[in-house]
């Protein structure tokens, strides 16, 4: 999707192409100006834009193989938010209507957040179940080994008692 397609998509929500274009231009302008000034722009559920500095380094010209000095520079960096990551990873979690990321409209619950919470709970319970199964298997193996070893010990103990009894009886 390019900028024109974004404007036309937003037009259906705002009612006019002019309002949509002004909204897109305004948001981009503010983000660019803030990041250029070195400040972070964090949009809840969407992500964070920030300015980072790259140190000077030595590169190589791929055509000639000659080493080239690359100057220090500043570049924009974007880190996607949790709702954005969840929506990309599982497109079915995005609600059919309303906001796909960020805060839900007043009076509604965030579907993406609930889905993420359910998944994390399911993962935790699955992990606990597998840990419990592994523990149970280890315990069963230990008890089986103990049961097998126990009769041998009883036999030797019984043999000792018999020997002791015979010695006592002979005296």
- Alpha-carbon distance of 80 to 103, in angstroms, equals 15
CA atoms within 13 A on the CB side of 75: 8
Domain boundaries, the chain: 3-93
Percent of the chain with pLDDT over 70: 58
In this model, does residue 68 exceed pLDDT 90? Answer: yes
pLDDT band at 160 (very low <50, low <70, confident <90, very high): low
Which of 40-54, 60-74, 87-101, 115-129 has the least mean pLDDT? 115-129
Q: What is the pLDDT of residues 87-102, one digit of tens each?
A: 999 998 888 877 776 5
pLDDT bracket for residue 33 (50, 70, 90): very high
CA 134 to chain centre: 25
Which range, 20-24, 82-86, 143-147, has the best average confidence (pLDDT)? Answer: 20-24
Q: What percent of the chain has pLDDT over 90?
A: 46
Tokens describing residue 62 = 């791929």
Q: What class is the 3-93 domain?
A: few secondary structures
64 in Cβ contact with 71 (< 8 Å): no
Question: Residue 100's pLDDT is what?
Answer: 76
pLDDT at 159 over 80: no
**Angle CA(137)–CA(122)–CA(135) in degrees, nearest 5?**
15
> What is the average pLDDT score of the chain?
76
pLDDT confidence tier of residue 112, bands split at 50, 70 and 90: very low
């Amino acid at each position: 999707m390019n900028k024109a397609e974004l404007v036309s998509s937003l037009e259906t929500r705002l009612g006019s192409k002019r309002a949509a274009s002004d909204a897109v231009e305004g948001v981009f302008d503010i983000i660019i100006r803030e990041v250029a000034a070195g400040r972070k722009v964090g949009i809840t559920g969407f992500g964070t834009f920030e300015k980072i500095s790259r140190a000077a380094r030595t590169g190589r010209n791929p055509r000639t193989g000659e080493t080239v000095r690359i100057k220090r520079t500043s570049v924009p960096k974007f880190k996607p938010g949790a709702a954005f990551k969840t929506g990309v990873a599982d497109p079915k979690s995005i609600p059919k209507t309303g906001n796909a990321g960020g805060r839900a409209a007043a009076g509604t619950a965030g579907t993406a957040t609930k889905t993420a919470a359910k998944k994390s709970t399911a993962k935790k319970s699955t992990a606990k179940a597998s840990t419990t199964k592994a523990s149970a298997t280890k315990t069963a193996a230990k008890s089986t080994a103990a049961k097998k070893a126990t009769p041998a010990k009883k036999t030797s103990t019984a043999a000792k008692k018999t020997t002791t009894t015979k010695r006592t009886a002979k005296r």
